Amino acid sequence: MALIAAVLGFLFAVKPVWSTSAQMQADLLADDAQLLPTVPTQVLPSISWDEAIAGYLSSHNYEPIQQQLAAYDGIQPREFFKLREGVLVAPTVPNDVAGSVKLYFIPGRELFFLRLEDFDVPVGPGYQIGLSKARAPRSGKDVRLAEYRFLSRMNDFQGNRNIMLHPESLLRAEDRPTRYGSLVIWNADYDIVIATATLN
């Protein structure tokens, strides 16, 4: 147990001070544990999407997430390389989505992370964030037909958030995030795309 505690302590020590609470740090570590770029199997829902949203709204309280862009293991943000960026938009009109996405590289640590800035998306259940080889997927079918990489669950719908890409998931050149065309926020069970950002 002492060894496990020491390892966990090391992991927290090298994480950037991006979160304003211990819970956010725990969520970030849990997200980093997702290594496989797989497209989830669709589970046929028993209720409509509108009913799912209504049920979610009635049982969940949510607040904006505010993770800062700060030093990582002694490396200052001004030293990060911004590789790609894009604007979050809804796949259909009216556009009820706001925010931007930036892909950063931390030199000397060979680490990539994505930052969602000033984002605001409609509240809903079962969201996940991923990277797609499609430039601007508009439907779940578009996501499934193109190569897809799962990044994280999404339970915060406003604010600023950082998503670290686990180094062990980037061992092959084709897995590098620069090979993907867009970031997508969607519900895989309902095959509904909530927002996309084409990364240029």
Per-residue pLDDT of the chain (200 residues; tens, 9 = 90+): 444 444 334 333 334 444 433 444 444 444 444 444 456 656 667 899 999 999 999 988 889 999 999 999 999 999 999 999 999 999 988 899 999 999 999 998 889 999 999 999 999 999 999 999 999 999 999 999 999 999 999 999 999 999 999 887 787 888 899 999 999 999 999 999 999 999 99
Q: Which has the closest alpha carbon to 182: 101, 67, 69?
A: 101
What is the model's pLDDT at position 171?
76
What is the model's pLDDT at position 150?
94
**Distance in angstroms (rounded) separating the CA atoms of residues 98 and 88:** 6
CA atoms within 13 A on the CB side of 58: 6
Domain residue limits, the chain: 23-198
Which residues of 61-147 form beta strands (DSSP E)? 65-66, 81-87, 98-106, 111-120, 127-132
Q: Are 128 and 179 in contact (CB under 8 A)?
A: no
**Distance in angstroms (rounded) separating the CA atoms of residues 9 and 73:** 14
Look up the pTM and report it.
Answer: 0.79
**Distance in angstroms (rounded) separating the CA atoms of residues 122 and 133:** 24
**Distance in angstroms (rounded) separating the CA atoms of residues 98 and 89:** 7
What is the model's pLDDT at position 40?
61
What is the model's pLDDT at position 14?
37
First to last CA, the chain: 46
| Radius of gyration for the alpha carbons in the chain, expressed in angstroms and rounded | 17
